[in-house]
């Protein structure tokens, strides 16, 4: 496995921006936030070792869904090919390979600058939520991408676009790009970031829009014949789990900050009440306060 230098690159860029940002966003703050993103990435990789019973049940449900789809993967692909005027083609048209602007939206080519822009904007405006939106999506994408590349190196499943490809055939070790069907990377990336944003923040009307865009991106890869239905199912499920997990970690950090912030006035008032007064034979340490 080779960890892409994305988090490192974003960190360097953020450190360059930090000195010109508001005083509250310091180099130390940026370092802590980059550290949190990296530990979130590691958390996803280590999650199987901390999984609870409900997590394994959910994983088995995803596996069962994939197993149920494999026997009809070729039929679904054939139906999409033979119905070019279907809703699948109409809805996914803006997100397919013919439209580079949106077709690559869930790849590193787009997610890297989007995450970087959110982090930079959050630093300049001293908006923690904006910075979290960037770091969280970045960590989810990196986790998804690295796991996918390890899977590609270990398993080979031909894409539907390969002539005479067989969805029931999986070889080891992995193969070239044409054998990178399992699992859907675009789907995992898109759903991971959409789920993180929707779980972490109150997105309002944007919530169904984000999920709808993620679903359209996922289906577009099936329409372009890059992934079977079972690949897309696993990719979307993996992305959802990653996005939810990282959002929960950010929520716990916020809760911890709130507890520390609530305790700070108590410590300050105790110190403010201290005074030293001269007295016969020495000094007296006194404290006064209001209750």
> What's the distance, Cα to Cα, between the start and end of the chain in Å?
59
What is the C-alpha radius of gyration for the chain, rounded to an integer number of angstroms?
Answer: 25
CA dist 106 and 140 (Å) reads 11
CA dist 10 and 92 (Å) reads 31
Let me know the angle formed at the C-alpha of 219 by 217 and 221, rounded to the nearest 5 degrees. Answer: 75
pLDDT of residue 2: 45
The label of the residue with tokens 């984000």 reads 210
The label of the residue with tokens 């997105």 reads 203
pLDDT of residue 260: 81
CA dist 63 and 61 (Å) reads 5
Global pTM reads 0.82
Fold of 6-253: Vanadium-containing Chloroperoxidase; domain 1 (1.20.144)
pLDDT of residue 279: 63
Tokens linked to 246:
């990282």
- From the list 46, 10, 9, the residue with the least C-alpha distance to 245 is 46
Bridge partner list, 157: 180
pLDDT tens track of the chain, all 291 residues?
444 555 555 555 554 444 444 445 677 888 899 999 999 999 999 999 988 999 999 999 999 999 999 999 999 999 999 999 999 999 999 999 988 788 888 888 889 899 999 998 888 888 999 999 999 999 999 999 999 999 999 999 999 999 999 999 999 999 999 999 999 999 999 999 999 999 999 999 999 999 999 999 999 999 999 999 999 999 999 999 999 999 999 999 999 988 887 765 555 555 555 555 566 666 566 656 555
Q: How far is CA 96 from each of CA 12, 86, 93, 228, 276, rounded to the nearest angstrom?
A: 33, 15, 5, 15, 74
Q: CB atoms < 10 A from the CB of 121, how many?
A: 15
Three-state secondary structure call for residue 157? strand
pLDDT of residue 23: 44
pLDDT of residue 101: 81
pLDDT of residue 100: 79
Q: Work out whether the CA dihedral 138, 143, 144, 148 comes out positive or negative.
A: positive
């Amino acid at each position: 496995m080779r960890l892409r230098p994305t988090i490192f690159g974003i960190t360097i860029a953020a450190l360059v921006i930090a000195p010109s940002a508001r005083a509250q966003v310091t180099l130390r703050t940026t370092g802590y936030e980059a550290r949190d993103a990296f530990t979130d990435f590691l958390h996803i990789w280590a999650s199987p070792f901390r999984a609870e019973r409900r997590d394994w049940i959910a994983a088995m449900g995803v596996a069962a869904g994939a197993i149920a789809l494999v026997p009809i993967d070729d039929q679904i692909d054939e139906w999409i090919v033979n119905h070019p005027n279907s809703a699948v083609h109409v809805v996914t048209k803006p997100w397919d390979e013919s439209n580079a602007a949106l077709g690559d939206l869930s790849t590193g080519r787009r997610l890297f600058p989007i995450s970087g822009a959110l982090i930079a904007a959050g630093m300049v405006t001293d908006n923690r939520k904006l910075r979290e939106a960037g770091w969280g999506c970045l960590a989810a994408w990196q986790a998804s991408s690295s796991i996918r590349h390890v899977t590609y190196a270990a398993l080979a499943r031909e894409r539907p676009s390969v002539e005479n490809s067989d969805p029931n055939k999986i070889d080891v070790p992995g193969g070239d790009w044409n054998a990178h069907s399992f699992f859907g990377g675009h789907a995992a990336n898109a759903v991971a970031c959409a789920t993180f944003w929707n779980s972490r923040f109150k997105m309002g009307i944007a919530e169904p829009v984000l999920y709808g865009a993620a679903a359209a991106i996922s289906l577009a890869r099936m329409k372009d014949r890059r992934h079977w239905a079972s690949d897309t199912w696993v990719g979307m499920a993996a992305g959802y789990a990653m996005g939810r997990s990282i959002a929960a970690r950010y929520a716990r950090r916020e809760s911890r900050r709130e507890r520390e912030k609530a305790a700070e006035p108590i410590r300050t008032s105790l110190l403010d009440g201290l005074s030293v007064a001269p007295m016969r034979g020495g000094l007296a340490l006194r404290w006064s306060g209001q209750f």
